Amino acid sequence: MKAIWKFPFDITDNITIEMPRGAIPLQVAAQNDVACMWACVDTEAPKESRRFKLRGTGHNADTIDPSKHVGTLFLYSGAIVFHIFDA
């Protein structure tokens, strides 16, 4: 069965999220000041560790592949902006 699940995550340069294999990220946003990713998942697929890279606006992005951009996250009414990339 397919469903959309929410995955809260901590703000850190390298993020690991346990999600079903083949999950497709749909949106990254803050919900009640908690960073979250929503993804379309196959609820019957085995879970795997999925890695993402997080960089703040103006931070070093030398190791980032821009073609793997997943989303942009605004925290605290847009005072802080992060960009998330599939690793």
* Beta carbons within 8 Å of 17's beta carbon, 6+ residues apart: 7, 9, 37, 49, 50, 52
Highest mean pLDDT among 30-34, 50-54, 73-77: 50-54
- In this prediction, residue 62 carries a pLDDT of 95
Kindly tell me if the per-residue pLDDT of 33 is higher than 90: no
Cα dihedral 59, 60, 64, 65 sign: positive
Q: Give the DSSP letter of residue 46.
A: P
Helices (H) and strands (E) in the chain, counts: 0, 7
Number of domains in the chain: 1
pLDDT of the residue at 52: 98
Distance CA 71, CA 11 (A): 14
Q: What is the average pLDDT across 64-84?
A: 95
Domain encompassing residue 77: 2-86
Over range 31-49, report the average pLDDT. Answer: 97
Average pLDDT rounded to a whole number, residues 44-69: 96
